[in-house]
Amino acid sequence: MGEVLMGKVLEVTDRTFAQEVLHSTSPVLVDFWADWCGPCKAIAPIVEDLAREYEGQLTVMKLDVDANPRTVSAYGVQSIPTLLVFKNGKPAERILGAVPKHVIVDTLHRVVA
């Protein structure tokens, strides 16, 4: 398993996605983003806050869409930012666009006990 830094947003790639996300024993929030995406940068601090606030209950990861086309295609991500919440190896929730923090938190409450 990869390096686990509690309260941090971790990078995930096509190569590590199955191990880090699909086989995770806890829910995983994956932020599909790109360096050139303004709205992605706008929600990055929110995603980082959530990694700290949900430490021990949720793993938070980022996937660069330009560098990882297999995973992007596999989950039908067509616009970014897209946040996918995985539980038991399956996508449980999808959030599209740069939404306010409370929208993400409300969604997470449906997945995280």
Residues acting as catalytic residues: 37, 40
CA distance 52 to 66: 26
Sign of torsion, CA 105 107 110 113?
negative
- Say if CB 45 and CB 60 are below 8 A apart: no
